[in-house]
């Protein structure tokens, strides 16, 4: 399949691949259905290492300000563990809602990400009760997937999981975050287009 003798394949499997042309690695990746991925690293003089995630957070913070809401960057829901924080928390006083927004550049562990969001929602409920006084705020959550090939592939591969876990209307969430409308009660997912600086509804096959 890749144009090599079995003995050479054996050499590569044993780690004796010195001098193997790049085209061979590409062919091996295709044969194994594990395509090789190569890219130039980030310019060492250009921005922080989490710049891609910051760009996405910047878009959401800008949208929150445009709707007249108060937004918090990296809000710790567990003060003793500040690393466990919400990407962007938006306070909607008009609808008395705390909006938990989790932004995903790419998933490494969807189950872990889901459990993390559930924990943050539960912990944010205590904060919502404090700021609401006699009329506690409710907590709503939304996942925003950075619009890229990796996330698109995940959405295509696991549509049932995403539908069951996020039954809310993606379109309604986009309108709520973009136009300042009512925040849906059920969680949902939407695309975050960093380059265009906007949110786009996630279209389901059943729509």
How confident is the model over 139-161, as pLDDT tens digits? 999 999 999 999 999 999 999 99
Q: Quote the pTM value.
A: 0.73
Structural domain includes residue 183: yes
CATH of the domain at 62: 3.40.1350
Query: Is 98 within 8 Å of 138 (Cβ atoms)?
Result: yes
For 116-139, what is the mean pLDDT? 86
Structural domain includes residue 86: yes
> Could you tell me which residues are beta bridge partners of residue 100?
89, 141
Clarify whether residues 93 and 158 are in a common domain. yes
Structural domain includes residue 206: no
Label the pairing between strands 188-193 and 70-76.
Answer: unpaired
Clarify whether residues 18 and 115 are in a common domain. no
Structural domain includes residue 171: yes
Query: Is 30 within 8 Å of 22 (Cβ atoms)?
Result: no
For residue 159 the two structure tokens come to 């549509």
Residue linked to tokens 């265009």: 196
Residue linked to tokens 């939407």: 190
Clarify whether residues 23 and 122 are in a common domain. no
Note the pLDDT of residue 48. 60
170 pLDDT higher than 60: yes
Closest CA to 182 of 145, 138, 143, 146: 138
Clarify whether residues 33 and 95 are in a common domain. no
Structural domain includes residue 44: no
Residue linked to tokens 């809310």: 168
* Structural domains counted in the chain: 2
| Domain interval for residue 2 | 1-38
For 99-119, what is the mean pLDDT? 92
Element at 50 (helix H, strand E):
none
Clarify whether residues 101 and 148 are in a common domain. yes
State the pLDDT confidence band at 207, using cuts at 50, 70 and 90: very low
Label the pairing between strands 97-104 and 138-146.
Answer: parallel
Q: Which residue has the higher pLDDT, 145 or 125?
A: 145
State the pLDDT confidence band at 132, using cuts at 50, 70 and 90: low
90 pLDDT higher than 80: yes
For 169-178, what is the mean pLDDT? 96
Clarify whether residues 102 and 8 are in a common domain. no
Q: Give the SS3 label for residue 5.
A: coil
d(CA 183, CA 168): 10
Note the pLDDT of residue 60. 96
13 pLDDT higher than 90: no
Clarify whether residues 33 and 57 are in a common domain. no
pLDDT tens across 29-79, in order? 888 888 888 776 666 556 666 678 999 999 999 999 999 999 999 988 877
Note the pLDDT of residue 139. 94
CB neighbourhood size of 196 (10 A): 10
Clarify whether residues 99 and 194 are in a common domain. yes
Structural domain includes residue 75: yes
Largest Cα–Cα distance of the chain, in whole Å? 76
- Which DSSP state fits 38? -
Note the pLDDT of residue 14. 85
Which range (20-24, 112-116, 133-137) has the least confidence?
Answer: 133-137
Clarify whether residues 26 and 118 are in a common domain. no
Clarify whether residues 175 and 76 are in a common domain. yes
d(CA 25, CA 35): 9
User: Do you know the residue count of the chain?
Assistant: 207
Clarify whether residues 63 and 139 are in a common domain. yes
Structural domain includes residue 43: no
Structural domain includes residue 140: yes
Note the pLDDT of residue 3. 86
């Amino acid at each position: 399949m890749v144009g090599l003798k079995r003995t050479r394949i054996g050499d590569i499997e044993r780690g004796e691949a010195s001098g193997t042309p790049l085209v061979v690695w590409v062919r091996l990746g295709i044969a194994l259905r594990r395509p090789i991925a190569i890219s130039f690293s980030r310019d060492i003089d250009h921005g922080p290492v989490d710049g891609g995630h910051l760009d996405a957070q910047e878009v959401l913070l800008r949208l929150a300000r445009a709707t007249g809401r108060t937004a918090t960057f990296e809000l710790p829901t567990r003060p003793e563990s500040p690393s466990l924080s919400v990407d962007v928390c938006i306070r909607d006083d008009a609808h008395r809602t705390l909006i938990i927004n989790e932004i995903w550049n790419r998933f490494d562990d969807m189950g872990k990400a889901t459990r993390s969001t559930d924990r943050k929602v539960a912990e944010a409920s205590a904060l919502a009760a404090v700021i609401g006084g006699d009329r506690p705020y409710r907590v709503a959550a939304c996942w925003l997937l950075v619009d890229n090939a990796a996330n698109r592939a995940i959405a295509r591969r696991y549509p049932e999981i995403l539908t069951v876990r996020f039954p809310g209307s993606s379109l309604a969430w986009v309108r709520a975050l973009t136009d300042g409308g009512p925040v849906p009660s059920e969680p949902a997912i939407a695309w975050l287009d960093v380059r265009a600086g906007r949110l786009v509804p996630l279209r389901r096959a059943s729509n």
